[in-house]
Structure 1
Amino acid sequence: MAGTDHAPPPFFKRGPAPLALLTFYVAISLALFVVDLRLKSLDLLRQSIALVTDPIQRIAQTPGSLVDNALGYLRGLDDLLEENTGLKQTQLQTAPNLQRLEHLEKENERLRKLLAVKEREKAKGEVAQIMYTARDPFSHKIIVDKGQQSGIVAGQPAIDESGVVGQVTRTFPFSSEITLITDKDQTVPVQVVRTGQRSVVFGLGKGRLELRYIPANADIQEGDLLVTSGLDGIYLPGFPVARVVSIEREHSYAFARILCAPVAAVENFGEVLVLSPRQPQAPRPPDATGRSGNTGTPVKAGAN
């Protein structure tokens, strides 16, 4: 019987040492890093991998995005409901005043018709966005995004939600230049609300105005509100202009030095309303007594 001569299989299969494998892989990594850095040879591979993994990343982020959107929607819904509730309460609080105001307007309209008094002009205009301030550091001017294509012409007044801002002094095809009332070249005819006294405010620069031609013994106090008188034919009467902040009276001078602060946010830029030019007032027709409505001069009946 022939004997079998073979070696038993090894119990452990031995390969390269772990340190040798680590060194080999590190060398390959460094070689790939250098080749990619020098030749940009792996950009295509990187883009291909990103093309495959990008949808997977988006899908993985979808649950988190849905949760965030849902939470944002619920928070927005709560805020909207709260704001709606506040607006309803405000509407209820202001409803009596609005109803009385409408009643007073109707009554005023009837009285004016009875007295044949011309109705006040209603303010109309164009909303313009302030783009930037003028480059001249010695003037107070702003540039708005409405110009000749919107029908803006020089001389139109500009207001904001608080009062008079300035006046259009130059127009361009797609923009306009507005000189603020605080500019040294600007003047506005005004009237003191408390006493009805008329005068003119002049711009002083640096956000200040001066009320001139007021006698030193005139009845004017700090805090008095000044509104447009409408005598210049540019500003409609009744728009807030400034408020008196300081008064200096000296008996050696005939007029008092009165400094005012503008009511409108002339230095805070946002949006303004450029009012339409005032329409020239037509002469009123003669009344039943044969007198002209404007001059009171008798008109001969049947005159041609």
Structure 2
Amino acid sequence: MQVNSQPAFFKQGPKPFSLLLIYGSLSLVLLLVDMRWQVLQPVRRAVSYALYPIEWLATEPLSVAHRVGDFFVTQTALQQENRRLQDERLLANAQLLRMQQLQMENQQLKALAATPAASRGNGILAEVLYNDRDPFAAKLVVDRGDMAGVKPGQVVIDALGVVGQITRVQPLSAEVTLISHKNQPVPVQVVRNGLRAVLFGLGRENPLEVRFAPLNSDIRADDVLVTSGIDGTYPAGLPVAKVARVDRNAGSAFARIACEPAADLDKHRFFLILNEQRVMPAPPEPEPEAGARAGKGRRSRRGAD
């Protein structure tokens, strides 16, 4: 009886279980030997060098994707941080400007409080609301009116000198005509020698002018002019202006005297309205003429006869 057998090239090697035991034993031996004497370190290093390009090619696309994502995230975060910092800087600048403005106003209020009129309680503190509608008119509107006791003709000053006077009063506001208003007269006196004169305004942004001063009048540059008090409106002794230039032309009957105001007319928000009003005595009655006196004498003699 013949027995079927496989051809020689179909013959199988060791059983899989046998191979597992062989390779497992070999791995265990190599592991123990490598742990003890590090004999496989050169092989491991060579394999690492050989596999590095493959590892780089496998991981680089993912790394590039992460870097691109991180770039856009970082860019967005930087833009948001930059915007936040800009907003904080603008807010800080606004607060700084406000603090500087408050500091300047505080200094001005302290200077006004130090004036003799304020120390005597003869002043009303007023804040400027706006300029007059006419841009060429030297007028201001303040937030104190008839209800606060403001009257037409009252003098308005700052810490340096005369600003103007009240010319129109409303219940809650008042109009101030500055000394720089065109043809606004202020009786003044030279501090150096007591010479009296009249100061006139020439309009906004123009200097003041002393008019009707003779060519030989003793007025010099840098002379200080104060109110003379002869008109009953401005109290005597308030600083008004300083002489800037004196031109004496022989072809003119009067000297041209340009002055600069002592007060800061267009810089402050707060002014002081003075309550000081001088009561001027009534002017004396004019004397009768000679003919009237003679007629009156004859009538009196006839009555006696």
Report the TM-score when normalising by structure 1: 0.51
Alpha carbons 2:233, 2:278 under 8 Å: kept: no
Cα distance change on mapping 1:185 and 1:253 into 2, 3 Å: closer
Alpha carbons 2:132, 2:141 under 8 Å: kept: yes
* Aligned equivalent of 1:131, options 129, 132, 138: 129
Distance 2:177 2:280 in 1: 26
Rg larger in 1 or in 2?
A: 2
Q: CA deviation at 1:277?
A: 4.4
Q: CA deviation at 1:157?
A: 0.7
Aligned to 1:263: 262
Alpha carbons 1:155, 1:169 under 8 Å: kept: yes
Aligned to 1:146: 144
Aligned to 1:241: 240
* Aligned equivalent of 1:156, options 154, 157, 163: 154
- 1:150 alignment partner AA: A
Distance 1:182 1:123 in 2: 27
Mean alpha-carbon deviation: is it higher for 218-227 or for 122-131?
Answer: 122-131
Distance 1:173 1:269 in 2: 23
Cα distance change on mapping 1:123 and 1:255 into 2, 3 Å: farther
Distance 1:261 1:212 in 2: 14
* Aligned equivalent of 2:198, options 197, 200, 219: 200
Distance 1:123 1:256 in 2: 40
Q: What are the superposed Cα offsets for residues 156-213 of structure 1, whole Å, 9 maximum, x if unpaired? A: 1100000000010111111100000000031100000111100100001124100111
- 1:217 alignment partner AA: N
Q: CA deviation at 1:282?
A: 6.6
How many residues are aligned here? Answer: 162
Distance 1:220 1:282 in 2: 31
Q: CA deviation at 1:261?
A: 0.6
- 1:222 alignment partner AA: A
Distance 1:171 1:151 in 2: 10
Spell out the pairing of 1:175-214 with structure 2 (5 A cutoff).
Answer: 175-205=173-203, 206-214=205-213
Alpha carbons 1:160, 1:264 under 8 Å: kept: yes
Alpha carbons 2:159, 2:263 under 8 Å: kept: yes
Partner SS, residue 240 of structure 2: strand
Q: CA deviation at 1:269?
A: 2.7
Aligned to 1:10: none
Distance 1:261 1:129 in 2: 24
Q: CA deviation at 1:140?
A: 0.5
Runs of 4+ with >4 A deviation: none
Aligned to 2:253: 254
Aligned to 1:225: 224
Distance 1:280 1:127 in 2: 23
Cα distance change on mapping 1:204 and 1:125 into 2, 3 Å: same
- 1:252 alignment partner AA: G
* Aligned equivalent of 1:166, options 160, 164, 177: 164
Alpha carbons 2:235, 2:276 under 8 Å: kept: no
Q: What are the superposed Cα offsets for residues 228-252 of structure 1, whole Å, 9 maximum, x if unpaired? A: 0001100100000000001110112
- Identity over the aligned pairs, expressed in percent? 48
Distance 1:150 1:252 in 2: 51
Q: CA deviation at 1:138?
A: 2.2
Spell out the pairing of 1:269-284 with structure 2 (5 A cutoff).
Answer: 269-280=268-279
Spell out the pairing of 1:64-79 with structure 2 (5 A cutoff).
Answer: none
Aligned to 2:83: none
Q: CA deviation at 1:258?
A: 0.4
Partner SS, residue 154 of structure 1: coil
Alpha carbons 1:207, 1:267 under 8 Å: kept: no
Distance 2:186 2:278 in 1: 19
Distance 1:228 1:214 in 2: 16
Q: What are the superposed Cα offsets for residues 71-115 of structure 1, whole Å, 9 maximum, x if unpaired? A: xxxxxxxxxxxxxxxxxxxxxxxxxxxxxxxxxxxxxxxxxxxxx
Q: CA deviation at 1:123?
A: 7.8
Distance 2:174 2:206 in 1: 21
Distance 1:216 1:172 in 2: 44
Spell out the pairing of 1:80-159 with structure 2 (5 A cutoff).
Answer: 124-159=122-157
